[in-house]
């Protein structure tokens, strides 16, 4: 089954750490929505290999992300789903997520969103403490964060996922625990907890370099990562991916599809798409995206994946999950020699205490997960 991602590249305010594709100018919002509708029509043959001609393609997940999709008027959100329904089959069993910021989630907005196919909200809380929110240049207040969760649940959204960020210099260990406990106490079924990373060319990178913001310390980040694991597990959340915790049956289907190599189509500027052996990505420039779509051209670059690239991608994504890398799958897709080479490479990490062999899977332990990307890169086919 396939998935669709739709990118809405607008935000009210630039968070200091953010390196996603977005703009705080919403001048192009109306024409961007028209372009998205057009791209949905133009790219409807993307999954053709899996669908007999003429039949709507069943979707497992739809994810509207950004940027800040909750900025869009609900009427535009409905138009996007109407455009999708001309080519794809989805219903209440499909996981349909929309990213939202607390400052957008008024009671009226939530009530209107309930009338759309959206059945899962991903709310960008990041912290319940004002100094953290200010450090990250988030727009909302702690009161709005708490209020939005209560209002979302009162509106009938029981499938919620909330993003938190740790490692912020303003976040003490005690406050980090408070943030987690706040969500646990509310019974939020899924939590994504991200380490604050300082990416180049972000305002945060600039501010730290100029000495105008406190630096992010690796030691604090690692400590707060370690702190949350037993806390979450003791409350029934499975740590099923480096940054993801879910109550039983509440794991993100959309993310699982990414990590298990299912095909997905990305719509909108900067959105990526994938199907076996092939990936493509739209231009990360909203003006150029709108121009190309207006001229009937998909603003995409693409590449056929080599066996080595596919293997590396599988290794990178699978090692981030609690299921790890399936050696039988490696052998079936890339051959016995590749499996043996991988087992040889893995022996070092197993001996180093970061990885375990569980039946025919290589799995990172909680300490190893902290270095998942580096360990995967160390075992790449292409190095």
- DSSP, collapsed to helix, strand or coil, labels residue 370 as coil
| Residues 47-86 as x/- pattern, contact with ligand SF4 by CB under 6 A | -------------------xxx------------------
Neighbours of 108 (CB within 10 A): 11
CB nearer to ligand SF4: give 68 or 321.
68
Binding of ligand SF4 by 18 (CB under 6 A): yes
Beta strands in 35-141, from DSSP E residues, in sequence order? 57-66, 88-89, 95-100, 120-126
Give the length of the chain: 383
Give the DSSP letter of residue 49. Answer: G
Give the nearest distance from C-beta 67 to ligand SF4 in angstroms: 5
Binding of ligand SF4 by 286 (CB under 6 A): no
Is there a contact between 277 and 304 (Cβ–Cβ < 8 Å)?
Answer: yes
CB nearer to ligand SF4: give 101 or 317.
101
Candidates 9-17, 104-112, 152-160, 353-361: pick the segment binding ligand SF4 (CB under 6 A): 9-17
Binding of ligand SF4 by 144 (CB under 6 A): no
Binders of ligand SF4 in range 213-242 (CB under 6 A): none
Q: Is 222 exposed, middle or buried (0-12, 13-18, 19+ CB in 10 A)?
A: middle
CB nearer to ligand SF4: give 22 or 157.
22
Q: Is 332 exposed, middle or buried (0-12, 13-18, 19+ CB in 10 A)?
A: exposed
Is there a contact between 98 and 70 (Cβ–Cβ < 8 Å)?
Answer: yes
Binding of ligand SF4 by 15 (CB under 6 A): yes
Q: Which two tokens stand for residue 361?
A: 């899977």
CB nearer to ligand SF4: give 24 or 382.
24
Query: Count residues contacting ligand SF4 (CB under 6 A)?
Result: 11
Binding of ligand SF4 by 20 (CB under 6 A): yes
Task: Name the site residues for ligand SF4 (rule: CB under 6 A).
Answer: 11, 14-15, 18, 20, 22, 66-68, 101, 124
């Amino acid at each position: 089954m396939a998935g669709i991602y739709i990118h809405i590249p607008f935000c009210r305010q630039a968070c200091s750490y953010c390196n996603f594709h977005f703009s705080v100018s919403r001048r192009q919002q109306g024409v961007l929505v028209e372009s998205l509708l057009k791209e949905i029509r133009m790219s409807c043959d993307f999954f053709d290999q899996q669908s007999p001609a003429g039949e709507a393609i069943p979707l497992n997940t739809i994810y509207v992300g950004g940027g800040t999709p909750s900025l869009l008027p609900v009427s535009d959100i409905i138009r996007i789903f109407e455009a999708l329904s001309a080519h794809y089959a989805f219903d209440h069993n499909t996981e349909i997520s929309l990213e939202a910021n607390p400052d957008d989630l008024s009671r009226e907005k939530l009530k209107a969103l309930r009338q759309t196919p959206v059945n899962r909200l991903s709310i960008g809380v990041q912290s319940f403490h004002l100094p953290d929110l200010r450090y990250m240049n988030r727009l909302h207040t702690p009161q709005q964060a708490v209020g939005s969760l209560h209002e979302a649940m009162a509106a009938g959204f029981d499938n919620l996922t909330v993003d938190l960020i740790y490692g912020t210099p303003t976040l003490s260990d005690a406050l980090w625990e408070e943030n987690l406990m706040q969500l646990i106490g509310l019974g939020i079924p899924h939590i994504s907890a991200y380490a604050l990373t300082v990416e180049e060319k972000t305002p945060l990178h600039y501010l730290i370099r100029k000495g105008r913001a406190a630096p992010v310390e690796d030691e604090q980040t690692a400590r707060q990562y370690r702190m949350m694991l037993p806390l979450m597990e003791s409350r029934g959340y499975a740590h099923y991916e480096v940054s993801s915790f879910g109550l039983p049956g509440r794991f993100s289907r959309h993310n699982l599809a990414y990590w298990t190599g299912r095909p997905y189509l990305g719509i909108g500027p900067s959105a990526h798409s994938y199907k076996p052996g092939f990936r493509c990505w739209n231009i990360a420039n909203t003006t150029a995206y709108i121009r190309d779509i207006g001229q009937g051209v998909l603003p995409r670059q693409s590449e056929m994946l080599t066996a080595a690239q596919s293997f590396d991608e599988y290794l990178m994504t699978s090692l981030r999950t609690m299921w790890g890398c399936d050696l039988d799958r490696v052998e079936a897709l890339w051959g016995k020699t590749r499996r043996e080479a991988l087992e040889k490479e893995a022996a070092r990490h197993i001996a180093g205490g970061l990885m375990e062999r569980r039946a025919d899977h290589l799995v990172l332990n909680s300490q190893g997960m902290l270095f998942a990307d580096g360990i995967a890169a160390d075992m790449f086919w292409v190095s």
